[in-house]
Homo-oligomer: A and B are copies of this chain.
Amino acid sequence: MRPTVHDIAAEAGVSLATVDRVMNARPGVREKTRLKVEQAIDKLGYVRDVAAANLAKGRTYPFTFILPCNENAFMADLRDAVLQANARGRVERTQISIVDVPAFDAEALAEALLAAGEGNPAGIAVVAIEADPVREAVRQLTGRGIPVVTLVSDLEDSNRDHYAGVDNPAAGRTAATLLGRFVSPQKGTIGVLAGSLSVRDHQNRFSGFCEIMAAHFPELTILPPMEGRDDSALARKLVSEAVEAHPDMIGLYSLGAGNRGLIAALEEARARGRELVTIAHELSDHSREALEAGLFDVVLNQDAGHEVRSAIRVLKAKADGLEVIAAQERIRIDIFIKDNLP
């Protein structure tokens, strides 16, 4: 049998309460006593039974998820995933409250973070925006011992506890290699459609994309990126015009959301006899259909469900002061073609 608190207490010659104090780093224990207990703990190889501990504590984990009120399918998926996780909260002992913030508004986000902190949640997950006020808010929270996990979009140079999202420069590089090889050996121009290049994720993807294109596909010219602002109509217009304006355009990388408009534009182009090798992000009903119809050639995806579950696991672990299994928490860049659709 694995050792219990009783065994530790006996071994150390103290009471249960003292063992508990030591284990939870609570004050009111002489240094000497603490040492005895700690020795007993690793002599017996004690590991605390978290389930039992939580039972005793009647513990539930109140988490706060701060999400942008964006309209695209991915954010909807993300929200869904959070709601679903919360639905299973009865048994997982988590209780998640979602806080909505306006998209792309750093000030509002910073405020929301601080406000969330007031409720003393067991942890906070946030779709970050790269900005100093946000960084500062996160610093305050972690300083107060509240675990913070960035979700989907990271916050560099902050001391967030964990980032639950993909490596975006790598996503851009992946897109470049696939696009380059698919169009090869044709020469021509490649369009890029972003949501907004003021968003960090999109920046990162774009730079990764350009890096590989420049290095390995010099015969392909990247057109200046279009900014569709995740707006369906705008994206459609931009892409249609670009296809028209560049008869030598043979490929397209859409690194943001706004697949609907993009798909419409590609259908138009196809009707006029133009076929573009196209790589887009985020698997949704629309992008899946586009893949099956051959309008998209590749979809790069981050699994919202995985990200949310990972964030929760990490938050729980941090709240309990446990280690996280890094390998299990790495969020992959999924590559989908029509043949490996889930």
Determine how close the nearest CB of chain B comes to the CB of A219; give it in whole angstroms: 15
Assess whether A189 is interfacial by the CB under 8 Å rule: no
Instruction: State in angstroms the CA–CA spacing of A51 and B170 once bound together.
Output: 40
CB contact list, A287-306 vs B, under 8 A: 297, 305
Q: Which residues of B contact A171 (CB under 8 A)?
A: 340
Closest-by-CB residue of B relative to A178 is: B337
Contact, CB under 8 Å: A337 / B174: yes
- 23 examples of A-B residue contacts, CB within 8 angstroms: A2-B90, A47-B90, A47-B91, A49-B55, A49-B91, A50-B91, A51-B51, A51-B52, A51-B55, A170-B339, A170-B340, A174-B337, A174-B340, A176-B339, A177-B337, A181-B181, A181-B182, A181-B297, A185-B185, A309-B328, A332-B334, A333-B340, A335-B340
Contact, CB under 8 Å: A342 / B332: yes
Residue from B55, B173, B182 in contact with A339 in the complex, judged by beta carbons closer than 8 Å = B173
- Kindly report how many copies of this chain are found in the complex they form together: 2
Q: Which residues of B contact A332 (CB under 8 A)?
A: 334, 340, 342
Assess whether A70 is interfacial by the CB under 8 Å rule: no
Determine how close the nearest CB of chain B comes to the CB of A301; give it in whole angstroms: 10
**What 3 A-B pairs are tightest by C-beta distance, nearest first?**
A173-B339, A51-B51, A335-B335
Having A334-B334, A335-B340, one finds 20 other A-B pairs with CB under 8 Å, namely A47-B90, A49-B55, A49-B91, A50-B91, A51-B51, A51-B55, A51-B93, A170-B339, A170-B340, A173-B340, A174-B337, A177-B338, A178-B337, A181-B182, A181-B297, A185-B185, A305-B328, A332-B334, A332-B342, A333-B340
Instruction: State in angstroms the CA–CA spacing of A325 and B328 once bound together.
Output: 17
Chain A interface (Cβ within 8 Å of chain B)? Answer: 2, 47, 49-52, 54-55, 88, 90-91, 93, 170-171, 173-174, 176-178, 181-182, 185, 212, 297, 305, 309, 325, 327-328, 330, 332-335, 337-340, 342
Q: Which residues of B contact A337 (CB under 8 A)?
A: 174, 177-178, 335
Q: Which of A47, A173, A181, A182 has the most CB of B within 10 A?
A: A181
Determine how close the nearest CB of chain B comes to the CB of A182; give it in whole angstroms: 5
Q: Which residues of B contact A305 (CB under 8 A)?
A: 327-328
